[in-house]
Each structure stands twice: as C-alpha cells, then as structure tokens.
Amino acid sequence: MLEFMKFNVLLLIFTLIYDQGMSQNIGGALPDFRGQTIETLRLVSGWEELLSVSGDLNADQKLDLAIVLESTEDMTEGRCEECLATKSKPRVLLILLDMDGQQEVILQNNEFIARSDEGGMISNLIPELKIDGGILEISYEFVRSEVSYYFKFFDADMQIVGAKTNGISAGSGDSHYQEFDFYKGIIMSRSGNISGENESNTSIKIKEAPKGISDFGRMFEWEVAEGIFL
C-alpha cells in the first residue's frame, strides 16, 4: 500500500512538471537579447536580421538602431488566449543605443511585430521601420488598410506618442481614418465614403496612459478607448 501511494505521488509530481513544461513551451521562451551588442547579435545562431533602421533615438547625436530579428526555425506559438497554438517564425523587436561607441540592446519586445502569416491576403507581411526626428515609426500596409505606430524616448524607455490607421471597405467604399495623439489624449476620427458622401469627424478621448514599447502585445489587442483598439 505504501509503495502504491509513493508511486501515485511520484506520478502526480511528474505530471505537474510535464504539464508545466508543456505550457511553457507553448509560445516558448525566446532568447533575451538585452545587453548584447550589434556585433554579438550577428553571431547568434538560429536568428537572422529581417530589417533594421538607424538614427538618433535619444537626442545624444549618436547613431542608434531598431532591428527586427526573425527566427530561422518554426516554433510553436500561442499568439492570443483564444488562439490555437500554431507554428511560425517568431519575430523580435530590438532597440539598440550607442553606449560609448558600441550599439547595445536596451529594449526588447517579443510579441508586437506581426508574424509573416498574419497579413490576411498578404502572404509575407513585413513591417516598415523609420526614424525621423527621434521618432521611431513602425508601420504595416495591408490590402485595403494601413497602420502606423510612433514611439519616442522618455526616461530610458520608448513610449507610444501617436498612431494612425486608415482603411477602405471593398464592398461599400466606406472609408475610415483615425489619428491617435497621446500627448493630448485624443483620437481624431474621420469616416465617409470614397464618393465623398456621408463624411463625419469626431474627437474621442483616449482612456489609457501611453505604453512603453516593451509592454506591447499583438497589434490591435490594446483597447485605448471604447471599442477602439491599437
């Protein structure tokens, strides 16, 4: 009897450990690149540079970098609570600042950059990166819509300062445009039709405080005002 109880206890412990390990592998832990330099990043196996942009991000007159790395291997990821885990090549956004002549990773986000298969009718979705006036822009162009996010350095973190979305409905020709201003805390929303009819303009208050770039999840998961997601 004692041996049977011991066996069941061991079986329970094994099951808990196995289940925990499996749950951690869904969307598996990605490498922590923070603290690495641009030189060491180029030596990391299993990852390749998808795109990058350079410019001064923190107003110190030095060249900084924003880089998107993509895994060379498929990994199992659960990209949202309701989503089934699927295989894809994870993408990681890295922000590197010039630290005494070496560009070093200080910020990392594993979720925000869309995977290649998340573009709807676009077979390989790739973002566009720009740095202008210390502002990092991350934008996507879909078949009938576009979205852009704007980030700026504040207190050793990059926070969202603005965003823009626009799109056109293929069937009706209805159009919408939204401009998010996190300085003022408002959304300027314009809707209408490509015919020029039924145009309307509204101002909506943003209910959320600006997020740091490391805190972003997937696109359009963050509800910044009632029924409005970024």
pLDDT digits (tens, 9 = 90+) for 145-186: 999 999 999 988 999 999 999 999 888 899 999 999 999 999
Q: pLDDT at position 162, please?
A: 99
What residue has token string 């314009």?
A: 190
Q: Which domain holds residue 45?
A: 32-229
Q: What's the whole-number mean pLDDT along residues 63-72?
A: 97
- More confident call, 81 vs 155: 155
Number of domains in the chain: 1
pLDDT on residue 83: 64
The answer as to whether 10 is a domain residue is: no
- CA separation for the pair 160, 222 (Å, rounded): 12
Confidence bin at 80 (pLDDT 50/70/90): low
**pLDDT of 79 over the 80 cut:** no
- Residue 111: which pLDDT band, with cuts at 50, 70 and 90? very high
Q: What pLDDT is recorded for position 30?
A: 92
User: How large is the average pLDDT for residues 101-105?
Assistant: 96
Q: What is the pLDDT of residue 122?
A: 83
Residue 13 has pLDDT above 50, yes or no: no
Q: Is residue 15 part of a domain?
A: no
pTM of the model: 0.84
Q: Is residue 118 part of a domain?
A: yes
What is the per-residue pLDDT for 197? 81
* pLDDT at residue 6 greater than cutoff 50: no
**pLDDT score for 159:** 98
Q: Quickly state the pLDDT bin for 40 (edges 50, 70, 90).
A: very high
pLDDT of residue 9: 36
CA distance 227 to 230: 10
More confident residue, 120 or 20: 120
Q: Per the domain annotation, does 3 fall within a domain?
A: no
CB 152 within 8 Å of CB 158: yes
Say whether pLDDT at 24 is over 60: no
Q: Is residue 65 part of a domain?
A: yes
Q: How confident is the prediction for the chain on average, in pLDDT?
A: 86
Q: What dihedral angle (degrees, nearest 10) is formed by the CA atoms of 153, 156, 159, 161?
A: -30
Domain for residue 20, yes or no?
A: no
For residue 61, the model assigns a pLDDT of 96
